[in-house]
Amino acid sequence: MLVIDLDALRPEHVLRILELTDTFGIHREAVIIPLATQEAGSIEILPDGHLRIACPNNIAFEEWLNDLRARLETMDLSKVARH
């Protein structure tokens, strides 16, 4: 199990997040993933249509990724670029 317990994401974390956003048809260039983790993490649609996903540093990655999927399912992603 991958645990985000670092100050920065590893490439495999970023790839898993992008694979998840791919399932929503979101263009990878529309996704911003800061490499530095945050205590609580966050997800937001920026005014320019980018989807910014900041990972928390205190939760198991798989658990957070499942929560991210659930949160994306409830968001209006119509302003985010699709492929």
Domain borders along the chain are: 3-74
Which sign does the torsion angle of CA 38, 76, 64, 40 carry?
positive
Average pLDDT of every residue of the chain: 90
Check pLDDT > 70 for residue 51: yes
Q: Global pTM?
A: 0.88
Check pLDDT > 60 for residue 4: no
Characterise 41 by phi-psi region: left (phi > 0), alpha (psi -120 to 50), beta (else): left
Q: CA of 46: how far to CAs of 43, 54, 55, 57, in Å?
A: 10, 13, 16, 22
Check pLDDT > 90 for residue 69: yes
